[in-house]
Structure 1
Amino acid sequence: MASKVGIISLGCSKNLVDTEIMLGLLNRAGYEITGAQDNADVIIVNTCGFITPAKEEAINTIFETARLKETSGLKALLVAGCLSQRYGKILLDEMPEVDGILGTGAVPDIAGLVELALQGERFCRVASPAYAHTPDMPRILTTPPYSAYLKIADGCSNRCSYCAIPNIRGDYRSRPLEAVISEAESLLEQGVREIVLVAQDTTAYGMDIYGRRKLAGLVRELAVLGVPWIRLMYCYPTGFTGELIKVMADNRNICRYVDMPLQHASPRMLKLMNRRGSPEEIKELIAELRRAMPGIALRSTFMVGFPGETGEDFEELISFMKEVRFERAGVFKYSREEGTPAGDMSGQVPARVKEERYHRAMKLQQEISLEQNSALVGKVINVLVEEEPSGRSNLYRGRSEMDAPDIDGLVLFTAVKSAPRPGDLVKVRVNKAYEYDLRGELS
């Protein structure tokens, strides 16, 4: 009888793709994949190790899972992903409950490492974080069947002063364009209707292997394939080209949506963060995107409490948010990380001040988001159906093309004359707006 293996995936969408590849490799090797943790012989916790809260979540999950050795006969517990790559043998030495540590470069070896663990060997396999995700690697999707992430690159070479990702994932490595297109074709054959492009910096795609930015060419080829929705995430502002904007504007199956993490709007803070691009240049880019694609939803992420951030710096951020009025935005508090330049900087901001700034920025964004959503009342928008009504509810649940999976809002709607299914693309007339979500009826 085949051993049963389950995986708990934590962290970002890039990590989730690694989880899906490991599932595919394990399945191909003859292991039985199970989603029932109390029925597994082996459980792999694929961790995030980016910031302190993510590390704490990972450690708590490892300890909770280890209890299954006593309650349900779990034979081996493996820890993979960014936390493993970052701390390696320290984890193995300090957590006797763990049977094996796998770095981010060990994904292709997962089947053999599971076998080692089942044979009773305790190991730490952390080396180079790089591995090549090739078209012949199987992948089992864990997302809904109509939506999938497509990782176009791994690692990062930007060296932002607060970020440990280059240490964990290595330098930026683009996948060959042909490999990405081949995987996209496979996803389409499986019935995927929304492909979400992810990398640490999608706009840097191609620089390392082609010597120039190739995201525009990649997106153009994906659009020709007939992917109903193509969504761009993690776009670095200085990486946008006129060609990319034109490709997006010319192809209606590219979602009118861009995720563009900016982190701050104070020139002094951006310099300390080692971020390229001035607030003026960013404003020009935003205006250009909105001119080229009226109605586009722009999403950003901002950090408060970075070392040395003064009240004046924070007010510059608030003024920027008020002026630009992002349709979507998230705010998070700076986390001091060892091994990063920012971790050694003086002027660390007190937790109380970080908390105050976080709540003020989020409150502002909620007000902006409500105003932006309210402007959609009476309009017809494109929606991807995600859930049918359940119980006594008559509401369908979906996402507009202005909403990325897992991080943005929902569209709740009624349908009288037809019964759409999950994965269908429909038109919904908006009749009510909230801070993050919309309500409407099938048009």
Structure 2
Amino acid sequence: MKLISMISLGCPKNLVDSETILGILASGGYVVTPSPEDAEIILINTCGFIEPAVREAVDTILHCLQFKAKGYCSCVIVLGCLVSRYGEKQLSQLLPEVDGWLGVDAAPFVLQYLERIQAGEKPLFAEHGKPGQYPRMLSTPSYTAYLKIAEGCSHACSFCLIPRIRGRLQSRTPDEIYREAEQLAAGGVKELILVAQDTGAYGGDLPGKPTLAGILKELVKIDGLRWVRFLYLNPHSLTAELITTMQEEPKLCHYLDLPVQHVNKDILKKMGRRGDINFYLKLINDLKTALPDLALRTTLMVGYPGEDRKSFQELHDFVSLAEFDRLGVFPYYHEQGARSFRYPETVSYIEKRKRAREIMRLQRKISRRKNQELVGRNLEVLIENSLGKDVWWGRSYRDSPDIDPRVIVKGRDLNPGTFAQVQVTRAATYDLIGIHTGNRSSRDY
């Protein structure tokens, strides 16, 4: 029996892959430890989407190789997007001390691969495995879990490397998704979060063309699930059926994550995306009319080649008019291999950072104002941890884990993984503060 530890970098989709690999290895007799310094074998599941992710991955690998150099561990394996993007040959020249390299979708052969590495062999690099149903070892709190409904992406955004790294859209069958959701709920999961590169594109590659809305209608029937939410929805994948389903099913969180990226028509065209500022403003207005309590999140990109001050100002004006509840903004990274690499960069890195700060200054004002409008309202809050005596933090339906703010709750006899009715008493720029009213939710189990 050998101790293994997994470091998972990047997005929740990567986390699901890491949990699957841990489940397979645990079933194969390995013992999992959360501490890399205690492990005999360290696995690092990397992200390689943009330059900062690549730097983080390399820094993490170098840190873990120090454990090997000091004799704490005997084997370091690197897998995931970084490997699929650059390949074993290039990476092994840079980091020859790494014992093995695996690409994405490594679950089907990770056990055999690791055994051969330990036997002193040098198995060939494997890029893609065959999709299937595998055990998972959850690394999230017991009451929350991600469920990946599709792999890859068939969109053609010029700045994005995902289709190159993970391939075209490969949706899981509805039966596979439903079975895994049932297993998670039976294990105590109360909040289920569906993820894919574009959850709205789900099913377009399958016979019969099942839809995200159709999947959601079945998942909400599973006993034990309290909240169901889905992340990463291309705005052009949004359908009337999906909105109607959100209106009709109380377990579906009124929360949408719509990465807009930009609103200038010319910039969007160069990005390989559609729409303009009027399209997106109308879309947001329609959504808020259909779902008045909707929490809306987006991601924006600044400094794309050709973004002059006028087109940036259009994006700035859009943020002011749209009033998103949640917003993230990041500078464009000129990534070799992406189609946008053919365009000459026109915005300096310093100017990109400046524009990102301008957007976030505006968003902070919007966030504080929208939070203040919630003072006096009652929210159902999933309690997650204690901050001290009778003070807790948790999340409402408006908050996705790890990326959104929290609700600070004052109350007695609360426990992580339970739902509490909370009256909002104060509003900070991002977080809300409230008191436990002592009332049990009508939907409590």
Asked if TM exceeds 0.5, the reply is: yes
In 2, the alpha carbon distance for the partners of 1:284 and 1:252 equals 25
Equivalent residue in structure 2 for 1:361, among 359, 375, 395: 359
**Deviation string, structure 1 residues 368-421 (Cα, Å, up to 9, x no partner):** 11111111011111111101343xx431110111000000000011114xx121
One-letter code of the match for 2:78? V
Could you tell me which amino acid in structure 2 is paired with residue 207 of structure 1? G
Q: Residue by residue, what CA displacement relative to the aligned partner does 1:257-292 show, whole Å, maximum 9, x if unpaired?
A: 110101011111111111123333322222222122
| Matched residue type, 1:413 | V
Secondary structure in structure 2 of the residue aligned to 1:113? helix
> Do structure 1's residue 205 and structure 2's residue 199 form an aligned pair?
no
* Alignment counterpart, residue 322 of structure 2, candidates 308, 321, 324: 324
The 1:251–1:290 alpha-carbon spacing in structure 2 relative to 1, beyond 3 Å, is same
Partner of 2:169: 172
Secondary structure of the structure 2 residue equivalent to 1:295: coil
Q: Residue 79 of structure 2 contacts residue 104 of structure 2 at CA under 8 Å; is this kept in 1?
A: yes
Q: Is the 8 Å Cα contact of residues 206 and 214 (structure 1) preserved in structure 2?
A: yes
> Please, which moves more after superposition, 247-256 or 115-124?
115-124
How far apart, in 2, do the equivalents of 1:367 and 1:131 lie?
48
Residues 101 and 123, structure 1, Cα contact 8 Å, conserved in 2: no
The answer to whether the Cα contact below 8 Å between 1:79 and 1:102 also exists between their aligned partners in 2 is yes
Residue of structure 1 equivalent to 2:184? 187
Return the letter of the residue paired with 2:98: V
Question: 1:241: how far off?
Answer: 1.1
String of CA shifts for 1:274-326, please: whole Å, max 9, x gaps: 11233333222222221222111000000001111110110010111111100
Amino acid at match of 2:112: G
Q: Distance in 2 between matches of 1:229 and 1:310?
A: 42
Shift of 1:124: 4.7
Could you report, residue by residue, the CA deviation over 1:36-56 in whole angstroms, capped at 9, with x for unpaired residues?
212211100000000000000
Does the residue aligned with 1:300 lie in a helix, a strand or coil? Answer: strand
Superposed, which structure 2 residues align to 1:33-432 within 5 Å?
33-88=32-87, 89-127=89-127, 129=128, 131-134=130-133, 137-210=134-207, 212=209, 214-226=211-223, 227-390=225-388, 393-416=389-412, 419-432=413-426
Instruction: Compute the displacement of 1:148 (Å).
Output: 0.4
**Shift, 1:157, TM fit:** 0.7
Secondary structure of residue in 1 paired with 2:381: strand
What amino acid maps onto 2:5 in structure 1? G
Deviations 1:151-186 (A, max 9, x none): 000101101000011000000110001100110000
Match of 1:435 among 429, 433, 436: 429
Cα offsets for 1:219-244 (capped at 9, x unmatched): 11111224210112001111111111
Whole-angstrom CA distance in 2 between matches of 1:120 and 1:96: 15
Distance 1:133 1:366, change over 3 A: farther
User: In structure 1, how many angstroms separate the alpha carbons of the residues matched to 2:50 and 2:345?
Assistant: 19
* Counterparts of 1:210 and 1:236, CA distance in 2: 22
Q: Distance in 2 between matches of 1:388 and 1:188?
A: 24
Q: From the superposition, tell whether residues 126 and 345 of structure 1 become closer, same or farther in structure 2 (CA, over 3 Å).
A: farther
Task: Please tell me whether the aligned partners of residues 204 and 213 of structure 1 are also in contact (alpha carbons under 8 angstroms).
Answer: no
Q: Does 1:18 align with 2:17?
A: yes
CA deviations over 1:196-221 (Å, ceiling 9, x no partner): 11000000000011354600100111
Deviates more, 1:279-288 or 1:293-302: 279-288
Q: Give the aligned CA root-mean-square deviation in angstroms.
A: 1.3
Please state how far the C-alpha of 1:348 moved relative to its aligned partner.
3.2
Q: Give, as a single letter, the amino acid of the residue that structure 2 aligns with 1:258.
A: L
Name the amino acid aligned to 2:3. K
Q: Does structure 2 conserve the Cα–Cα contact (< 8 Å) formed by 1:92 and 1:124?
A: no
Unaligned runs of 5+ in 1: none
Unaligned 5+ segments in structure 2 are: 438-445
- Between the aligned residues of both structures, percent identity stands at 42
**How many angstroms does 1:442 deviate by?**
0.4
Q: Structure 2: how far apart are the matches of 1:97 and 1:159?
A: 36
CA distance in structure 2 between the partners assigned to 1:144 and 1:61 by the alignment = 24
Deviation, 1:29, is 0.8
**In structure 2, C-alpha distance between the alignment counterparts of 1:276 and 1:109, rounded to whole Å:** 39
Provide the rounded CA distance (Å) in 2 between the counterparts of 1:211 and 1:167.
Answer: 27
Shift of 1:122: 3.5
- Provide the TM-score with structure 1 as the length reference: 0.96
Residues 197 and 231 in structure 1, CA contact (< 8 A), matched pair in contact too: yes
- Residue aligned with 1:210, SS: coil
Q: Quote the Cα distance in structure 2 between the aligned partners of 1:4 and 1:99.
A: 16
Q: Partner of 2:4 in structure 1?
A: 5
Shift of 1:131: 3.4
Distance in 2, matches of 1:210 and 1:425, equals 39
Give the distance between the partners of 1:206 and 1:250, measured in 2 at CA. 22
TM superposition shift of 1:439: 0.6
User: Counterpart of 1:199 in structure 2: which amino acid?
Assistant: A
In structure 2, give the amino acid aligned to 1:353.
E
Q: Deviations over 1:38-80 (max 9, x none)?
A: 2211100000000000000000000000011132431110000
**Alpha-carbon distance in 2 for matches of 1:219, 1:169:** 25
1:28 aligns with 2:22: no
Aligned partners of 2:374 and 2:130: how far apart in 1?
44
Preserved contact between residue 263 and residue 275 of structure 2 (Cα < 8 Å): no
Code of the aligned partner of 2:213? A
AA of the residue aligned to 1:403: D
- The answer on whether the counterparts of 2:174 and 2:210 sit within 8 Å (CA) in structure 1 is no
The amino acid across from 1:373 in the alignment is N
